[in-house]
């Protein structure tokens, strides 16, 4: 096999592949072994007809279609490897069928879209402002307050409902004096100020008391369901109960109920929260720095992706969301709206932007790997497998092996090697970055 490369554009190439006579003859033998199994002829059981008799009856030409396929499957990957071509789609193959003859070579051409060459911008000296990792007293207090809020109890109160209270209500909605579908419920628990209902509904229940009847007048938003959008409505509401929030006090007893290892007192819990926040802020700062550096080098770089590749990837994502909608038994548009996407056009536009960004990041990282001669050793790959498997010093040998083997089934060696090399690229970006310390918060 011999292959020549002709670049048609930045995104496409034409391979001219010569299949030798020996390779074609081998493909014909493979074709015969497949075709003869399907031949029915007097005097022979299926698959048992000798080759010489088969050729006498049907001729070598009867095997050409199958042989071409075998020859292509054998030589095309080798041609890609020889010419260092990385396709993004299936090739368009062409050959002169009439020129085929056993014992002679033949040539075919394959036009294919390829990954573009990335025009790499400056990747050293990038400027990124890091996030502060300082934990203030206010941070600790806010975290503790959040924990206490998760343990709040709603208790019945005698006074009027206030913002933040929960009311237990029956309600029925009317438009032009007629009840509408989906506008009725009983014993519904609604937190005032949660904005769970249409604008104005919750506000008109502030001040209501238990066993009070309230009429709520609202107008449905213009972007509401078509049958109600923009229409005025009256809701007849019966308030059964008003419940206020009762916050627990932070005590040693409450801390013990949290069941945090080696944390039994309020002081220990405060220190635990402070250290936990430091760890979380450090992780967030690291992620921010890495994202900022990769975004910066991508902003300096460029690659002209073939539209066929982008279109194919967008269609793949559209098919996925259509399948999800079918599984949930709802229209695609409804599923998109639940995800905060207004329309399929908006989804496609967002998907295309994400795809282009993701592909560019991959090409940029691979180009830097090439320029910096970055490789991943077998030792580094094995260490990464252990990291992915969450292997700890407490694990015995069997537990370690079981964890690592499970991860190896999930991630191929090439994927892990790429991660090792990508991490090395990130370290180069960080080492050569120009960072301006974030302004520390005041207490």
Give the tens place of pLDDT for each residue, 352-393.
999 999 999 999 999 999 999 999 999 999 999 999 998 787
Helices (H) and strands (E) in the chain, counts: 12, 11
Which pLDDT score is estimated for 156?
95
Q: Are 336 and 344 in contact (CB under 8 A)?
A: yes
pLDDT band at 227 (very low <50, low <70, confident <90, very high): confident
pLDDT band at 436 (very low <50, low <70, confident <90, very high): low
The residue among 57, 69, 75, 56 whose CA lies nearest residue 18 is 75
Q: What is the CATH number of domain 2-113?
A: 3.30.70.1050
> pLDDT digits over 288-347, tens only?
999 999 999 999 999 988 888 899 999 999 999 999 999 999 889 888 988 888 899 999
> pLDDT digits over 166-212, tens only?
999 999 999 999 999 989 999 999 999 999 999 999 999 999 999 99
Q: What is the mean pLDDT of residues 276-298?
A: 97
Q: What is the mean pLDDT of residues 389-398?
A: 83
Looking at the chain, the whole-number percentage of residues with pLDDT higher than 70 is 98
Which pLDDT score is estimated for 437?
59
The pLDDT of residue 125 is above 70: yes
Instruction: Quote the mean pLDDT of the chain.
Output: 92
Higher per-residue confidence, 442 vs 87: 87
Query: For 25-34, 120-129, 428-437, which range has the lowest pLDDT when averaged over its residues?
Result: 428-437
Q: What is the DSSP code string of 5-37?
A: EEEEETTEEEEEEEEPHHHHHHHHHHHHHHHGG
Position of tokens 């409505």?
233
Which pLDDT score is estimated for 443?
44
Q: Are 196 and 190 in contact (CB under 8 A)?
A: yes
For residues 134 and 277, what is the distance between their CA atoms, to the nearest angstrom? 9
Domain boundaries, the chain: 2-113, 153-246
DSSP bridge partners of 94: 109
SS3 117: coil
Six-digit token pair at 272? 């635990």
**Domain made up of 153-246: CATH architecture:** Roll (3.10)
Which pLDDT score is estimated for 186?
96
Which pLDDT score is estimated for 424?
98
For residues 284 and 291, what is the distance between their CA atoms, to the nearest angstrom? 10
Q: Are 364 and 120 in contact (CB under 8 A)?
A: yes
> pLDDT digits over 382-393, tens only?
999 999 998 787
Which pLDDT score is estimated for 327?
93
Q: Are 111 and 418 in contact (CB under 8 A)?
A: no
pLDDT band at 103 (very low <50, low <70, confident <90, very high): very high
The pLDDT of residue 79 is above 70: yes
Task: Give every CB contact of residue 437 below 8 A, 6+ residues apart in sequence.
Answer: 130
Six-digit token pair at 291? 């994202």
Q: How many CA atoms lie within 13 A of 429 on its CB side?
A: 27
- Burial group, residue 90, by CB count within 10 angstroms (0-12, 13-18, 19+): exposed
DSSP bridge partners of 188: 169
Higher per-residue confidence, 84 vs 279: 279
Task: Give every CB contact of residue 407 below 8 A, 6+ residues apart in sequence.
Answer: 385, 388, 389
pLDDT band at 64 (very low <50, low <70, confident <90, very high): very high
CA distance to 112, 221, 319, 350, 351, per residue, from 346 (Å): 30, 21, 15, 6, 8
Q: Report the first-to-last Cα separation within the chain, whole angstroms.
A: 73
The pLDDT of residue 440 is above 60: no
């Amino acid at each position: 096999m011999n292959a020549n490369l002709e670049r048609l554009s930045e995104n496409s190439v034409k391979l001219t592949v010569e299949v030798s006579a020996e390779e074609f003859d081998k493909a014909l033998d493979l074709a015969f072994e497949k075709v003869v199994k399907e031949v029915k002829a007097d005097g022979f059981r299926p698959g048992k007809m000798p080759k010489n008799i088969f050729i006498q009856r049907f001729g070598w030409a009867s095997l050409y279609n199958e042989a071409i396929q075998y020859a292509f499957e054998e030589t095309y990957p080798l041609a890609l490897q020889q010419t260092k071509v990385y396709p993004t789609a299936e090739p368009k193959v062409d050959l002169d069928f009439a020129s085929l003859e056993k014992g002679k070579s033949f040539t075919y051409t394959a036009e294919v879209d390829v990954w573009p060459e990335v025009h790499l911008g400056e990747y050293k000296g990038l400027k990124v402002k890091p996030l502060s990792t300082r934990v203030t007293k206010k941070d600790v207090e806010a975290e503790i307050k959040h924990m206490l809020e998760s343990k709040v109890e709603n208790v019945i109160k005698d006074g009027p409902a206030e913002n933040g209270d929960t009311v237990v209500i029956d309600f029925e909605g009317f438009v032009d004096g007629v009840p509408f579908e989906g506008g009725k419920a009983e014993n519904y628990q609604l937190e005032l100020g949660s904005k769970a209902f249409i604008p104005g509904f919750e506000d008109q229940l502030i001040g209501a008391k238990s066993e009070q009847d309230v009429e709520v007048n609202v107008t449905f938003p213009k972007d509401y369901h078509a049958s109600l959008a923009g229409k005025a409505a009256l809701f007849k509401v019966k308030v059964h109960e008003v419940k206020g929030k009762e916050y627990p006090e932070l005590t040693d007893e409450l801390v013990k109920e949290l069941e945090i290892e080696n944390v039994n007192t309020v002081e220990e819990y405060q220190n635990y929260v402070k250290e936990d926040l430091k760890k979380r802020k450090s992780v967030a700062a690291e992620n921010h720095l890495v994202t900022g550096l990769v975004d910066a080098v991508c902003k300096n770089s460029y690659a002209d992706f073939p539209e066929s590749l982008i279109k194919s990837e967008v269609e793949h994502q559209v098919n996925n969301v259509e399948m999800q909608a079918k599984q949930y038994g709802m229209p695609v548009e409804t599923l998109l709206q639940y995800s905060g996407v207004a329309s399929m056009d908006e989804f496609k536009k967002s998907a295309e932007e994400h795809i282009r960004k993701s592909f560019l990041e991959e090409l940029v990282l691979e180009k830097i790997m090439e320029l910096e001669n970055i490789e991943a050793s077998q030792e580094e790959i094995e260490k990464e497998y252990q990291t992915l498997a969450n292997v700890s010093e407490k694990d015995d040998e069997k537990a370690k092996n079981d964890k690592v083997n499970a991860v190896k089934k999930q991630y191929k060696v090439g994927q892990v090697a790429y991660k090792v090399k990508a991490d090395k690229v990130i370290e180069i970006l960080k080492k050569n970055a120009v960072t301006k310390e974030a302004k520390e918060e005041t207490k």
